[in-house]
């Protein structure tokens, strides 16, 4: 039950929901998320660590950069929640704005 509570707590923050929404389309570097959300690295990293500890994301290091992606850990409840998030989150105003910012940032990307 603690794992389930932790999973739901991770979804209770707008910034973490915005990060999850960005990750719905694939792996992203921390610098991508920082640019879109216009937040400092420490804040983004803290939210990503929370999502990782709750079982929502996985990470990998490539040189000095950390890349994050959604974690498929076989948890049936999490998969159903992720399906619901896939259907609803991208339709929000914040998600549309974030996607546009990510597209713009990707065209002028200076990290990697």
**109 in a domain, yes or no?**
no
Over residues 26-38, the pLDDT tens digits come to: 999 999 999 999 9
Residue 19 neighbours by CB distance under 10 Å: 25
**88 in a domain, yes or no?**
yes
- Report, as an integer, the average pLDDT of 53-75: 92
**59 in a domain, yes or no?**
yes
- Pick the range with the lowest mean pLDDT from 35-39, 49-53, 95-99, 102-106: 102-106
Predicted local confidence at residue 109, as pLDDT: 66
Predicted local confidence at residue 44, as pLDDT: 97
Residue 76 in 3-state DSSP? helix
**Structural domain boundaries enclosing 39:** 2-100
**108 in a domain, yes or no?**
no
CA distance 65 to 82: 26
Predicted local confidence at residue 110, as pLDDT: 54
**87 in a domain, yes or no?**
yes
CATH number for the domain harbouring residue 42:
1.10.10.10
């Amino acid at each position: 039950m603690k794992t389930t509570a932790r999973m739901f707590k991770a979804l209770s923050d707008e910034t973490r929901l915005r990060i999850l929404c960005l990750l719905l389309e694939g792996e992203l570097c921390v610098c991508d998320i920082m640019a879109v959300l216009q937040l400092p690295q420490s804040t983004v990293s803290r939210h990503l660590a929370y999502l990782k500890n709750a079982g929502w994301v996985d990470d990998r290091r490539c040189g000095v950069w950390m890349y994050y992606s959604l974690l498929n850990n076989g948890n049936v409840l999490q998969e159903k929640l992720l399906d619901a998030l896939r259907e609803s989150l991208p339709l929000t105003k914040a998600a549309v704005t974030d996607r546009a910012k990510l597209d713009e940032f990707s065209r002028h990307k200076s990290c990697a």
